[in-house]
Amino acid sequence: MENSCKNVYITTPIYYVNDVAHIGHAYTTIIADTVARYSRLIGADTFLLTGTDEHGQKIAQSAEARGKTPKEYADEISGKFRKLWDDFDITYDKFIRTTDEEHKIGVQKAFETMYNKGDIYKGDYEGYYCVSCETFFTEKQLVDEQFCPDCGKPTNIVKEESFFFRLSKYEDRLLKWYEENEDCILPRAKKNEIINFVKGGLKDLSISRTSFDWGVKLPESINEPKHVMYVWLDALMNYITALGYGTDEKNMNYWPAKIHLVGKDILRFHSIYWPAFLMSLELPLPEHIAAHGWWTRDGDKMSKSKGNVVNPKEVADAYGLDAFRYFMLREVPFGQDGDFSQKALIDRINSDLGNDLGNLLNRISGMSGKYFDYKVTSKDVERFHKKELDEVNEILANVESYIYKMQLNRYLEDIWKVLTIANKAIGDYEPWTKMKEGKEDEAMALVALITNIMARVALLLDSVMPEKISKIAASLGIKIDTVTYKKLLVNKELLEDTTITKVEQLFPRIEELLLEQAKPTDVSKTETEEKSCKNESTVLEEDNLITIDKFFETTLRIGTIVEAQEVPKSSKLLKLQVDLGEGRNRQILAGIKEYYDASSLVGTQACVVANLKPAKLMGMLSEGMLLAARDENGLSLVRPETSKKSGTKIS
């Protein structure tokens, strides 16, 4: 493990001030903060940027609806974002607002530079515009001739004078960049989606508006006072204006960004428009543009109308901020959609944090106190436990690569492999037996081995759970800093003599839900009828090809069938109660009646699509789908080769 970074610049999206922060915003920001904390630990000069996007027609309309000026409304919502990140102890170096004067100056300089280069020209625009998405669409892209393909809301035909950016000019250069930089877009599967879009041909981009005035004005040198900049040009420039582009440029040494973190819904803007703008400005391109998935709640899409939106502050207050951070990073591979449930969070707290981590610290304290008056020396660790040390060093040698490739769940998985080695060693070597046999040096070596492993784990987990890890570090008598990191993880040295200090239980066991559950809502009649028609005729019968990015959006889990009944008046459907390890059974209607007797399924396991939106079939709710294969010999459910714990993820 080596420090491979010098300057590290990490950005979140700047969050649009049309609503308060939700779990998706928290997820992005926690990832960014974790990477920034890790970068500082390994000695990198690190700059973390977050902030708010405050211009555009949608903001002006939202403000008017509330009887406020756009600036008053933006001040209010932006303040809530900043307060939440402060409450979450996010270690940002700058919180930028697109209403900042320095930002406006920088954006105007960028516009003027691209204009003088010939990459911006004046023309007329007519197209279908979605106010909610701040995006134009062609007629072919619309749904039912008028609705936005992204959010489903009605579009408006807009015809106005506009300035255009010559996006088409950069088509070949973009494709070359994608080809030559394997990890420029993460996960890699997302890159194929972008490449295919660009290969379909890029049209020049309308980058100014005259139909509203809440935005950054064009430079005075262009003498077009009625125009304001398109919100996406304005917003994307924040990544360089925050470093002083166009003003003092004092922090431009951090450019290019190592990681731009974005949600998958805005990947196209960041991986096509943004690099094209940078090419025009003759600035280096970012190293990674990383797009994460969305979050559902208990398998259902979150929305205000359903009353199931997760408030991240409420969750953190109830279960602890560090536990919430750990859950968000561990629960789902980056790029895939995740599902938040209190039961899953509690399971992580009780099992991973309470049993594996917290209990191991208690055992160190207990053994060192009982046998050695809390004094620990590492002088015989290599003599008796070279095998375990080598295993630990081999695992930890690769963790840094996971951090910067956004594989944070794998980062944590490997750390937990190390904790498993430590916990197993106690059972294998039984220090209590060593003490009875008079082998105090062997018992001490084992306690010191566990202490050294915990010290390395603490260093690596500090970026994930800083508050709890500070207590672990105090207990072990170590400092969480670059010097200790280099000593224990880079040079693989062992701790000097240390004294263990007892600490309170870090992760008390949780036996019941601490927050009120979201209330389930019925699927709309129109959606029900549509899904009923589709599922009755096509379930398990078609082998439709999908792209790899679509596959990674699917959550597959092992389910145990605990009840099975025939559905009256249906020749195809069985009604199943399936345990997915969620604390309740899911009802799934499966079109397998022709091939399976209901009684034969009880107690068996199957592979389940767990994040399928609930639908009603014949008036009954179905909350998932079983996977099956069918040919001329009939249909067979896809099952695990050996029995697995209910809810186990399939990957």
Q: How does DSSP assign 175-202, residue by residue?
A: HHHHHH-TTSEESHHHHHHHHHHHHT--
For residues 15 and 54, is the Cβ–Cβ distance under 8 A?
no
Number of H helices, E strands in the chain: 24, 27
Per residue in 368-416, pLDDT tens?
A: 999 999 999 999 999 999 999 999 999 999 899 999 999 999 999 999 9
From CA 125, how far away is CA 121, in angstroms rounded? 12
Q: What is the pLDDT of residues 293-333, one digit of tens each?
A: 999 998 888 877 677 889 999 999 999 999 999 999 999 99
- In the numeric block, which tokens belong to residue 502? 């007892």
Can you give the pLDDT at residue 460? 98
Write down all domains in the chain, each with its CATH number in brackets: 340-499 (1.10.730.10), 525-650 (2.40.50.140)
pTM of the model: 0.77
Residue 485 burial by CB count (10 A; 0-12/13-18/19+): exposed, middle or buried? buried
Is-contact 182 189, C-beta < 8 A? Answer: no
List the one residue out of 646, 626, 622 whose CA is nearest residue 636.
626
DSSP notation for 541-593: T------HHHHTT--EEEEEEEEEEE-TT-SS-EEEEEE-SSSSEEEEEES-T
Contact between residue 585 and residue 343 where contact means Cβ atoms under 8 Å apart: no
Question: What is the rounded distance in angstroms from the CA atom of residue 58 to the CA atom of residue 51?
Answer: 18
DSSP 252: G
Query: Per the annotation, does 151 bind a ligand?
Result: yes
What is the Cα–Cα distance from 324 to 88, expressed in whole angstroms?
Answer: 10
192's tokens: 């194929």
C-alpha span between 71 and 55 (Å, rounded): 9
* Residues contacting 433, CB < 8 A, separation 6+: none
Q: Are 106 and 237 in contact (CB under 8 A)?
A: yes
pLDDT at 548: 47
DSSP E strand stretches across 131-176 = 135-137, 156-165
Distance CA 595, CA 342 (A): 36
Q: Is 533 annotated as a binding residue?
A: no
**Among 459, 343, 333, residue whose Cα is nearest residue 392:** 459
Tokens of 555: 């959550």
Inter-residue contact 454 to 461 (CB < 8 Å)? no
The pLDDT of residue 603: 82
Query: 508: cis peptide before it, omega within 30°?
Result: no
**Res 143: pLDDT:** 66
d(CA 564, CA 645): 19
C-alpha to C-alpha distance for 215 and 505, rounded to whole angstroms: 52
* Ramachandran angles phi, psi of 453, nearest 5°: -65, -45
3-state secondary structure of 152: coil
The C-alpha atoms of residue 142 and residue 73 are separated, in whole angstroms, by 31
On whether 184 is known to bind a ligand per the annotation, the reply is no
Residue 284's DSSP bridge partners are none
* Low-confidence residues of the chain: pLDDT under 70: 1-5, 134, 140, 143-145, 305, 518-553, 569, 618-619, 631-633
Query: Do residues 339 and 557 touch, judged by C-beta distance below 8 A?
Result: no
Q: Which residue has the tokens 């998405």?
A: 133
Query: Which structure tokens are listed for 424?
Result: 């197993």
At 366, which amino acid appears?
Answer: G
Number of neighbouring beta carbons within 10 Å of residue 319: 20
Look up residue 592 and give its two tokens: 């397998």
